Structure 1
Amino acid sequence: MKIGFIGSGHIGEVVAASVIQAGHSVVMSNSRGPETLTELVRKLGPHAEAATSEQAAREGDIVVVTVPLRALPQLPTSGLAGKTIIDTMNYYPQRDGRIAALDNGSATTSELTAEHFPDAHVVKAFNSIYAADIETTAKPKGDPERRTLPISGDNAEAKKAVTDLIESIGFDVYDAGPLHEGFRFQNGTPAYCAHVNRTDLIDLLNQAKE
């Protein structure tokens, strides 16, 4: 499977390395152009290539959107109809500016992402784990210390695809429900970046209030 990346920062780089190790290939992009990704692609190896954001969107079987939330309105939307998008973004007002719908809880970052990409299937994932932990805390299936990561989304098929991908890189997955339920593991909640198993993760998710 080929995974497209719109954004190639810390999360993008580590997820890309992990999915390559699991047997996939990646197409990396950023806002500055593919020529700025030469060193990253060299580091990731022969199963990585650099492209424009439009190319990454078009070529990816799954597309990971991992940019600062403030950049969301500028992202290209072409080539994503019917595709699964993984949204890794968190809201930091000091970086992103104030967003009323997020401040009053009427929307989540992933619901804003789904509005921006109305023809795609958005799944919230990888926002509640530190980038370095993706590499250092992955465990084989069946390991008693294997960590569980939460996801949310409105499309069952898309969530299944993301679950399979996350499980292939060393984590169990808990489906927290529809896209709006992503508020339960956004930054500032008990489940955010918690290194826990499924049972403990569910307890932490339930502590987040509307």
Structure 2
Amino acid sequence: MKIGILGTGEIGTTLARTFGARGHDVDVANSRGPETIGSAVREFGARAVTAEEAVQGKDVVILSVPFARVPDVAGLFAFVPEETVVIDTSNYFPQLGGPVDAVEQGQVESLWVAEQLGHPVVKAWNAALAGTLRTKGVPAGTPDRIALPVAADSGEARRVGMRLVDESGFDPYDAGVLADSWRQQPMTPAYCTELGLGELGPALAAADRTEAPRRRDRQMARLAALTFTPTLDQTVELNRSLHR
């Protein structure tokens, strides 16, 4: 599969390495140019290219840029065919990128992303911490495998997203249409809590759309007040504690 990845943060880097190692044809780009993409990103065969090259002629484009930066890359998608599957990994944190009026007024985050791009998107990999994606992916059938939700309006695009989530080491869960993807956003019960396949459905169903942004803001303040940097497992536990 021809995969383009926009963004070389922790998640973009992890996915570039993962899919390169699995034999996919992977191009990766950032906003600073291919010469700034280090060897660690390219270790398993991913190529450093320009942002324009990363979205051209691809079966899948993975958009792994900060939520607030989505409008900056929207122009790249003007000539991306509708059949290209675009996967959005972002999360909305107004404390980090500033408030987005439409989202503050109730628009679902990934519907806003799709509107900015002028292209349908799949929501995937947003409900896992970067450390989880990097260190806890295991083969299908492994006991206690972590599950991740995948949402999209197109059933075929959702199936592609689920296939790639499976290849990245996690059980994919069909989370339905994009309008329901708020159920996997910060800080819902399914968000970065490392649940198994049997637990993820009830967690998505238990999400409270009004309460989630309040929990998000409380959790951000809580993390900012810590006098130490929590480990991956401590962060997961802090997220789980919001829902007890």
Highest relative contact order (Cα 8 Å, sep 6+), 1 or 2? 1
Residues 110, 178 of structure 2: 8 Å contact kept: yes
CA RMSD of aligned residues (A): 1.5
Offset from partner CA, 1:10-51 (integer Å, 9 cap, x none): 100011111122221211111111111143444x23x21111
Residues 57, 79 of structure 1: 8 Å contact kept: no
Residues 13, 41 of structure 2: 8 Å contact kept: no
Give the TM-score normalised by the residue count of structure 1.
0.92
- C-alpha distance in 2 between matches for 1:110 and 1:134: 20
- For 1:112, the aligned partner's letter is W
Aligned counterpart, 1:29: 29
Q: Which runs of 5+ in 2 are unaligned?
A: 210-244
Q: Which runs of 5+ in 1 are unaligned?
A: none
- C-alpha distance in 1 between matches for 2:206 and 2:18: 30
Offset from partner CA, 1:92-132 (integer Å, 9 cap, x none): 11121111222232x122111111222x3310001110112
Offset from partner CA, 1:143-176 (integer Å, 9 cap, x none): 1211110011101111111111111222111111
Give the TM-score normalised by the residue count of structure 2.
0.80
Residues 4, 55 of structure 2: 8 Å contact kept: yes
- For 2:116, the aligned partner's letter is H
Q: Of the two, which has the highest radius of gyration?
A: 2
Residues 71, 117 of structure 2: 8 Å contact kept: no
List aligned pairs for 1:113-192, cutoff 5 A: 113-118=113-118, 120-192=119-191
State yes or no: 1:200 paired with 2:168: no
What secondary structure, in the 3-state scheme, does the structure 1 residue paired with 2:121 have? strand
Match of 2:55 among 49, 57, 70: 57
- C-alpha distance in 2 between matches for 1:40 and 1:25: 17
- C-alpha distance in 1 between matches for 2:192 and 2:38: 31
- Moved beyond 3 Å, runs of 4+: 38-42
- C-alpha distance in 1 between matches for 2:173 and 2:40: 31
- For 1:208, the aligned partner's letter is A
Q: Identify which range, 157-166 or 17-26, moves more after superposition.
A: 17-26
When residues 117 and 159 of structure 1 are mapped into structure 2, their CA distance, relative to the original with a 3 A threshold, is: same
- More strand per residue: 1 or 2? 1
Aligned counterpart, 1:72: 70
- Per the TM alignment, residue 78 of structure 1 is displaced from its structure 2 partner at its CA by 3.2
- For 1:29, the aligned partner's letter is A
Q: Identity across aligned pairs (percent)? A: 38
Residues 5, 63 of structure 1: 8 Å contact kept: yes
- Per the TM alignment, residue 6 of structure 1 is displaced from its structure 2 partner at its CA by 1.1
